[in-house]
Amino acid sequence: MAISRQGEKDTEESLDELTGLVEAVGAEVVGIAVQNRDRADSATYIGKGKAEEISLMKDELEATMVVVDDELSGSTIRNLSQATGLPVIDRTALILDIFATRSSSAIAKLQVELAQQQYRRSHLTGLGAMMSQQGGGIGTRGPGETQLESDRRHIDQRITELRRRLKRHQAVMETQRKRRTDTSEKIVALVGYTNAGKSSIMNYFLKHYDAEGAEVFERDMLFATLDVYVRRIELDANRKFLLIDTVGFVNRLPHQLVEAFQATLGEVARADLLIHVLDANQDKVELQQRATEAVLKEIGAEQIPMITVLNKWDLPGKYRLANSALPVSAKTGEGMDQLVQQIDRELFSDQQEVEMFFTFSQSGDMSRLLEEATILKQTYEDDGTRLRLMTDQFQRDKYREYIVEDHH
């Protein structure tokens, strides 16, 4: 159910998306109600008349719940529920619910629960009142404390605990990241709308570029991936990068989730290059694109260089974008060579040939550099080793003192 405000054209698109989200939790949409009005009703969101209409239709439709395409306050949820005679759930709670059923790793579970508790806390007023009407919580209160205060206190305690645990996970991730950045390895992150094919593209790279890492989970469902997967991809011995696959986005991704998923989304914000994956087999390509761009902005990743791909090009719907995007298919491999070329150009165009000289006492630094850079020529001299190398900017900065200036 939604209201359509004047001048807003995307109500229908948004309701299509909502239908997908409802189906993602295994429910079925039996009817759609839209009301044209400029502002939401302060008490019941939709007008009283419309609410009564829904109430009258519910038996015939066998409806068991109202899903609202917006985030509502706790008291609006309660009022609308009373007016329609049905339980009401808003868009945010629905998305949180999908995330909750999909999360399997410890860190994803913590992040989802944090978002859920934050949602609960901000909706306590209305929902709490509903609970106390049912006589819940009697006998559990501290002296002089209302039900609401005690609920809030419990939630706050839990939120503190969840944040503490997440911090520990983040510390571990930070150590892993330090280990990676020490080797100057470039990071490429797959981003995009949920179900666009990010994990499938990751798996294509794993299959074709001889990586040791295990394949990642891909499935035709919303939010199949809720974690961060990092795999090393080797285009060849000298051109390696880390590829990151992570959670997909939807339109108006709840801010509680974006906040709670900081540990996960932070990995994206640190990437050197983004691959924005769009599903070309959908007429909602532009909606998908906007949804992803909005989230990237929210996590501070909008400045990172980006390659946009139209995935699933093997399927009949070939929706294009106004700007140039690369058609690819993770299934058939079509366009993937061009994608590799573009990645190569973005990541490794700062490669330069230099000459370096290491004395024998500097051989420690030399062997560290040789793990990363390509040797073109190596000559042993009386007092050390002379190398011609292909290096990137990071290596040239780090090993600057060994670079031999051109002598004439």
Q: Please give the residue ranges that form the binding site for ligand GTP (CB under 6 A).
A: 194-200, 218-220, 222-225, 248, 311-312, 314-315, 329-331
292 binds Mg ion (CB under 5 A): no
Q: Give the binding range for Mg ion (CB under 5 A) out of 28-36, 41-49, 169-177, 195-203.
A: 195-203
* Minimal distance, residue 47 CB to ligand GTP, in Å: 36
Instruction: Kindly tell me which of 20 and 384 has the beta carbon lying closer to ligand GTP.
Output: 20
Instruction: Kindly tell me which of 116 and 225 has the beta carbon lying closer to Mg ion.
Output: 225
Of 258, 263, 255, 239, the closest CA to residue 188 belongs to 239
Instruction: Kindly tell me which of 88 and 202 has the beta carbon lying closer to ligand GTP.
Output: 202
* Minimal distance, residue 129 CB to ligand GTP, in Å: 36
CA–CA separation, 124 and 263 (whole Å): 27
- HSE at residue 208, side-chain half, CA atoms within 13 A, is 14
Alpha helices in 105-229 (DSSP H): 106-122, 124-133, 147-182, 198-208
Alpha helices in 217-328 (DSSP H): 255-260, 262-269, 285-298
CA distances from 201 to 87, 244, 285 (A): 40, 11, 18
| 115, interface contact from Mg ion, ligand GTP, none, CB < 5-8 Å by kind | none
Instruction: Kindly tell me which of 198 and 396 has the beta carbon lying closer to Mg ion.
Output: 198
Instruction: Kindly tell me which of 191 and 354 has the beta carbon lying closer to ligand GTP.
Output: 191
CB-count burial class (<10 Å; 0-12, 13-18, 19+) for 94? buried
Give Cβ neighbours of residue 237 (< 8 Å, ≥ 6 apart).
374
* Minimal distance, residue 224 CB to Mg ion, in Å: 5
* Minimal distance, residue 93 CB to ligand GTP, in Å: 19
Instruction: Kindly tell me which of 272 and 314 has the beta carbon lying closer to ligand GTP.
Output: 314
224 binds Mg ion (CB under 5 A): yes
Residue from 225, 251, 288, 329 that binds Mg ion (CB under 5 A)? Answer: 225
- Give phi and psi for 189, each to the nearest 5: -115, 135
Please name the residue that has the structure tokens 């906007």.
290
Instruction: Report the interface residues with Mg ion, using CB under 5 A.
Output: 198-199, 224-225
